[in-house]
Structure 1
Amino acid sequence: MLEAIRDRAQGIFAKIILALIIVPFALWGVDSYIHNKGEADVIASVNGQKILSQEFSQALKDQQERLRTKLGGSFDPALLDSPEVRQSVLDNLINQHLLVQEASKIGVAITDAQLASVIAQIPAFQQDGQFQKERYDALLRNQNMTPSMFESRVRQELMSQQLIGGLTASQFMSHTVVEAVMKASEQQREASVHVVKPEQFLSKIKIEPAAVKSYYDSHLADFKVPEQVRAEYVVLSADALLSQVQVSDEEVKNYFLSHSKQYQTVEERQAAHILISVAPDATAAEKTAANKKANQVLKEVNSHPADFAELAKKYSQDSGSAAQGGDLGMFGRGAMVKPFEEAAFKMTVGEITGPVKSDFGLHIIKLTAIKPAKSRALDEVKGEIVSELKKQKASKKFAEVADNFSNIVYEQGDSLKPAADALKLTVQTSGWVSRTSGDGAGLNNEKVLQALFSDEILNNKRNTEAIEVASNTLVSARVIDHKAASTKPFDQVSSAIAERLQNEQAVVMAKEQGETMLAQLRQGKSVALAWDASKTITRQNAQGLDEAALIQVFKANAHKLPAYAGVENPHGGFTLLKISKVTDATGIDEAKRKAYAQGLSELVASEQTAVYLASLKKQAEIKVMKEKLVKAER
């Protein structure tokens, strides 16, 4: 419970709110934003409320950044051209509109006081643990947002969260269901593996030349080589200008003095707690029972203070911290609910106090550590300050020279050298690139590739215009070599085709033999196999088995052992499995039992949310302009 409040202030919920700042207008549009866009294209409508192309494009860019962060260098921008991805992004926007509409319809409201309280808890807007309006205004201003626009977005997000929370807050898992799931999840099975590999059949397979030629003729599209170019390019970025700026010791000192608070760490405390939950709408009898229970636990804790962690595992009803002995880690002011914070910041290390009443119930608190406030010395932070000042100067210089760069690459369009020489940049050369696949950070951009393959640039070998590929980053490129689209000749690919056909047949033969062996084993027949050494398998530790094989291990009927199972191997061939022992879990502690109950409740809540959204969609009038969805600019 208390962990949830912490997450709300510092974790997932804060990230949701911050995403509203960092990626402006990525969710449903704020009215003032939409109305300022004039007659923008409509991608879809939800009960008459429009989803504009700008809103969709921004949401698509948001998804692009998430994928880029997740996939790193393997990210391919072409992923976002997939109809499935684009439809998924639109579906998410539609869901968001439906939730806000329904929340308004049934009277869900967020008061100004509630809104202010949530925003004040966001660490990004705080200084020394306290909300700072100047910091708040500055951060929003940097993202071209006004407080009213941001607050409108947060209010809508809170409304949808409150709506969903009201639907899913009272999920209860019966003891029988929790026990059944725990038993199945914690069960262990000893299993051995034998893989029937395709390689053992390769020598038996002969591929006729006619089959190779037939495959080539019927799969010509597989052997197409796209149109390609090699290019020169120059990147002007703030990062590229870092080496051209200098920072003096006097500048470092002045920055340090004017930003001294930035280099002060606030006091933090570490505590553990035992929570006895009390619902906000609890009856007087329930409150009395909770108080009695809390005082009984406190008495036991005071008698055995060294056993606090074990007692937290036994008694605490905070599923997020009970398994860790009630430990909440380090926290500063503003991270916890007020009564808990006030108590914790008055305590000495090792002290135990309680019961402390909050909106979540009654807390027994043990303070375990204090990390005092600290001011860092200039020598300690000098490197950070130099780096920050150089970044500021480089950004300023970028703004000063960006127009000059754009003018030179345009006016002296037959070469990139003048721009590179004027701004002390390097002309780089790419490998072969296609319309959809760039080479290096400079050319791995849709707009740059589009420009390179345009008729004017391709045929006249002129510089592209200066193209913004990221914040404070411009690129200009020119074609130096070109290859038209072609088809690889048969002689070049015939060996690869023959090998492919041979491998495909070997996979089929391995599967057939594996299935035959499995049938024989299940019939009790003797089959000479070299089984691997048995391993103890759990659903949490597959011991190297792929997901399909793991499912078969626990799906196998284990009433009579050994039991046998089998499944196609994702790398080709067939995996045979021998289950020789089954061990049911015993002595599962209360903390783990609570965690299972919580997880099941969340799973059911998620399913309920999906069902609820499906119901809203069924009743709603939703129109999607398919042709505009495809054409919407990224």
Structure 2
Amino acid sequence: MLQKIRDGASGPLAYIVVAVIAVVFGVWGIGSYFTPSSDPVVASADGTNITHSQLRQAVNQRYQRLRQMMGNHFDSSMFPRDKVRQNVLDNMIDQAVMVHYAKAKGYRVTDANLLAEIRSNPQFQENGKFSAQRYKALLSQAGVPPGQYEARLRQGMMGDQVRQIVAASAFAAPPEVDVAYRRVNEQRKVQVLTVDSSAYSDQVTVDDKAIQSYYDKHPKQFMRPPRVKLAYVSLDADKLSPPKPDQATLKQLYQAHKNEFGTPAKRSADEIRIPIGKDDAKARQTVQAVIAAAKKGQSLKQIAAATDGAQFQQIDAQTKSALPDPVGAALFGLKQGALSGPVRGDQAWYVLRATSITPAKTPDFNNPTVQARLKAMATRKARAKAFRKKSDTLDDLAYQAPNGLKTISDKLGLTIQHTGWITRHNGGSGLGQYAAVRKAAFSDAVLKDHLNSKVIDLGQQRHVVLRVADHQGAQRKPLAEVRDKIRQRLVAQESQQRAEKAAQQAMAQARQGKPLAQIAKDTQGAKLTQPGFVGRHDNTLDPSVLSAAFDIPFDNKSGSAQYRVVSTDSGQAALVAVLASRVESSGSKQGGGSQRKQIAQQQSGYNASLEYSALDHYLRKRADVEIHKSAMN
């Protein structure tokens, strides 16, 4: 059935696997393929069983995606496994319910549709074409059998069919589009009176009693996270000192890498290229005619000019590796001035005449530059060999002596070193800068069981083994350490409150008819700005100010200014005044024709998502769902 997907697979076993998948798809359906009886069922939805192994695999894949998205910032403690498991299970149940509904309504995914979907996935392609080898390799890396992947993909595609039908039936009514259009294109004329809180900070005094009170009431704000100091040994290839290489070793390297020390041989030539196209016989006849004319003394350039379809070019001092394989092999087999026979390439025939030969030049073994490079090369090889040997020993010792670093230190001659304090998310600039180190340091084996870590590969041929030398749990920082920080915070809070009070008083005066310009002059720390008409996506105003400008109810008919006080992102208080409102249009008969179409499409998409969510909720509510929590752990 899906044999085409496995193009490139060979042998009887491959056909057996495909045949089994075909039987499973065709006779037993998706559920029976990956629901072995020995695998406990954690949930069932409208007759479809979800097994423990399926749930575990889906949860693991969710964590893999989170790690890929967050990189070194991923912290499993941010995603409790119980909550992730429940979320994943809910999604699997929703999908099973939707697939059951789709089947009942007659939706189907043909084998051809499934095959096309797989082949069109860029992840399974190489050079723009589907690769069966890559397909199998990626699934193998993910631990997902192809048949299981195909079954899940079929389920997803069936759900997508329902989504597409819902989307096709959704539409946006003209009044909806009008409202959305006006909202998108509305502009409001605003004035902003900003009261700078820092203008009041000199008037604020904070005593020790207030600081103590704040410290006592907000203990969580001053918690120091759990931290550790580490002892570790580091095996670093760059710090190994292998013995100096002897002459025999250098000569052996010289012979093996001789071509790297000099300049390679180069050839220049005249070349005629004759594309093969659809008629290889005709191209072959043309090649023979070219060779015959060249043997009579005509230059290849002249022959190309007189020969239909022939292309002439000069090859200027190229190495063999820089040329297509058949061309390079033929050219480097010619003497100067000699003419080649017909040379067959992938898409063309070639005729070559060697015009210049530059032999390879290799400096003598005793050349100082060669000697320096040989010694550096030998040292790198010896150092890498010594590092591999010591790394193997380090692996063994880390396993054999997990309760301390002294054995490792003594046998490998490595100094036991120490770090400063390291937290889960901050390790400074030393060893703690590596996420792998912090992860190992706070693992249960190292932190709770007091064992050495496994060997940690830091890259660039550096391996470490560590253990916890000191540990402090989460604890509140002493008051003396945070006193100044609390004082600054209390001053900022009181200053902000005074600025907001001043802004509220300014709003009351504005509502009584006093001009904002005069209010700004009379208010401490106040400044008036008049941006004029602004749109919803204006990037010159503070986000809080812009949001308030469009949240304030405003009626052009009354013509009365409307006001609101907000706190800005920079900690200032702002009085926002809305003076007028208008809707900008493109000037077309209905105003913004193309934009209206875009808005209508967006609104239709939004309505479709609402309808699909409503259908999903309805189906889930009436579905026959059973969850066996005892089987989930």
Q: If the length of structure 1 is used for normalisation, what is the TM-score?
A: 0.58
Looking at structure 1, the residues matched to 425 and 628 of structure 2 have their Cα atoms a distance apart, in angstroms, of 26
How far did residue 598 of structure 1 move? 0.9
One-letter code aligned to 2:422: V
Residue 523 (1) aligns with residue 512 (2)? yes
CA shift in 2, pair 1:119/1:66, >3 Å: closer
Q: Give 1:98 deviation, angstroms.
A: 2.7
Does the C-alpha gap of structure 1 residues 539 and 452 become closer, same or farther in structure 2, counting only changes over 3 Å? same
Residue 436 (structure 2) pairs with residue 442 (structure 1): yes
1:80 Cα deviation from its structure 2 partner: 1.0
**Distance of 1:550 and 1:577 partners within structure 2:** 10
SS at match of 2:190: strand
1:512 to 495, 501, 505: 501
Give the corresponding residue for 2:405: 415
**Counterpart-to-counterpart distance in 2, 1:89 and 1:627:** 17
Q: Please say if residues 79 and 85 of structure 1, whose CA atoms lie closer than 8 Å, have aligned partners that are also in contact.
A: no
Return the match for 1:611 from 614, 620, 623.
614
Shift of 1:111: 1.3
SS of residue paired to 1:509: helix
Aligned residue for 1:453, secondary structure, equals helix
C-alpha change, 1:417 and 1:191, in structure 2 (3 Å) is farther
Residues 596 and 36 of structure 1, relative CA distance in 2, 3 Å threshold: same
* In 2, Cα distance between equivalents of 1:107 and 1:235: 64
* Per-residue CA distance 1:407-428 (angstroms, 9 max, x = gap): 2312244329959997x99998
CA displacement at 1:605 relative to structure 2: 0.9
Does the 8 A contact of 1:201 with 1:509 survive in 2?
A: yes
Aligned to 1:482, the other structure's residue is in SS state strand
2:488 to 474, 493, 499: 499
For 1:508, give the aligned amino acid: Q
Write out aligned runs for 1:126-205 (5 A).
Answer: 126=125, 129-205=128-204
Equivalent position of 2:550 in the other structure: 553
Instruction: Indicate if the aligned counterparts of 2:67 and 2:74 stay in contact, CA closer than 8 A.
Output: yes
| Residue aligning to 1:602 | 605
Inter-partner Cα distance in structure 2 for 1:407 and 1:447: 20
Q: Is the 8 A contact 2:536 2:550 kept in 1?
A: no
Counterpart residue number, 1:567: 566
Q: 1:278 aligns to what?
A: none
Q: Does the 8 Å CA contact 2:544/2:566 hold for their aligned counterparts?
A: no
Q: Equivalences for 1:177-576 in 2 at 5 Å?
A: 177-232=176-231, 406-413=395-402, 414-415=404-405, 418=408, 431-434=420-423, 439=432, 440-445=434-439, 449-454=443-448, 456-457=449-450, 462-466=451-455, 476-483=465-472, 486-527=475-516, 528-529=519-520, 530-534=527-531, 536-546=533-543, 549-553=546-550, 555-559=552-556, 560=559, 562-576=561-575
Opposite residue 136 of structure 1, the aligned amino acid is: Y
The answer to whether the Cα contact below 8 Å between 1:549 and 1:566 also exists between their aligned partners in 2 is no
Q: CA deviation at 1:539?
A: 2.0
Shift of 1:248: 8.4
Does the 8 A contact of 2:398 with 2:465 survive in 1? yes
Amino acid in the other structure paired with 1:607 = L
Deviation string, structure 1 residues 215-268 (Cα, Å, up to 9, x no partner): 33343444443442122457999xxxxxxxx998999xxxxxxxxxxxxxxxxx
The DSSP-based 3-state class of the residue aligned with 1:169 is helix
Alpha-carbon shift at residue 576 of structure 1 (Å): 1.8
> Residue 592 of structure 1 is aligned with which of 590, 595, 605?
595
Counterparts of 1:102 and 1:548, CA distance in 2 = 48
Task: Name the structure 2 match of 1:106.
Answer: 105
CA displacement at 1:557 relative to structure 2: 0.8
Q: Which amino acid aligns with 1:415?
A: L
* TM-score for both structures, normalised by structure 2: 0.58
Q: Distance in 1 between matches of 2:36 and 2:259?
A: 46
Shift of 1:561: 6.0
- The one-letter amino acid of 1:98's match is V
Q: What residue identity is the alignment partner of 2:604? A: S
SS of 2:211 mapped into structure 1: helix
Counterparts of 1:211 and 1:181 in 2: how far apart (Å)?
A: 51
Q: CA deviation at 1:79?
A: 1.8
Cα distance in 2, alignment partners of residues 478 and 573 from structure 1: 49
Q: 1:524 to 1:596 in 2, by over 3 A?
A: same
Q: Find the aligned partners of 1:107 and 1:249 in 2 and give their Cα distance.
A: 71
Question: For the residues of structure 1 that align with 2:612 and 2:323, how far apart are their CA atoms?
Answer: 50
Alpha-carbon distance, 1:501 to partner: 2.9
* Counterpart Cα distance in 2 of 1:579 and 1:628: 60
Q: Percent identity?
A: 27
Q: Call closer, same or farther: CA 1:58–1:479 in 2, change over 3 Å.
A: same
Change (3 A) 1:224 1:541: closer
The structure-2 alpha-carbon separation of the partners of 1:554 and 1:149, relative to structure 1 and needing over 3 Å to count, comes to same
**1:25 match:** none
The one-letter amino acid of 1:584's match is V
**Preserved contact between residue 187 and residue 583 of structure 1 (Cα < 8 Å):** yes
* Superposed displacement of residue 126, structure 1: 4.0
Q: Which runs of 5+ in 1 are unaligned?
A: 1-29, 238-245, 252-376, 382-397
> 1:161 offset after TM fit, Å?
0.6
- Does the aligned pair in 2 maintain the 1:171–1:601 contact within 8 Å? yes
For residue 108 of structure 1, give the secondary structure of its aligned residue in structure 2.
coil
After superposition, what is the alpha-carbon deviation per residue over 1:152-183, rounded to whole angstroms, capped at 9, x for unaligned? 11101101111222222121222332133112
Given that 2:229 and 2:419 are in contact with CA atoms closer than 8 Å, whether structure 1 keeps it comes out as yes
**Which secondary structure state, in structure 2, belongs to the residue aligned with residue 596 of structure 1?**
helix
Output the CA distance in 2 between the equivalents of 1:119 and 1:146. Answer: 14
For the 8 Å contact 1:189–1:579, the answer to whether it is kept is yes
Aligned residues: CA RMSD: 4.7
Does the C-alpha gap of structure 1 residues 35 and 590 become closer, same or farther in structure 2, counting only changes over 3 Å? Answer: same
Distance 1:523 1:449, change over 3 A: farther
Residues 548 and 564, structure 2, Cα contact 8 Å, conserved in 1: no
Distance, in Å, in 1 between the alignment partners of 2:73 and 2:321 is 40
Number of residue pairs matched? Answer: 445
**Considering only CA atoms, is the larger Rg found in Structure 1 or Structure 2?**
2
User: CA–CA distance in 1 between the matches of 2:389 and 2:31?
Assistant: 35
2: CA distance between counterparts of 1:60 and 1:469? 28
**SS state at 2:230 partner:** strand
C-alpha separation between the residues in 2 aligned to 1:84 and 1:519? 49
- SS of the residue corresponding to residue 422 of structure 2 reads coil
For 1:98 and 1:218, how far apart are their aligned partners in 2? 49
Whole-Å separation in 2 of the counterparts to 1:224 and 1:449: 21
Determine helix, strand or coil for the equivalent of 1:445. helix
SS in 1 for 2:194: strand
Cα deviations across residues 357-394 of structure 1 (Å, max 9, x unaligned)?
A: xxxxxxxxxxxxxxxxxxxx97699xxxxxxxxxxxxx
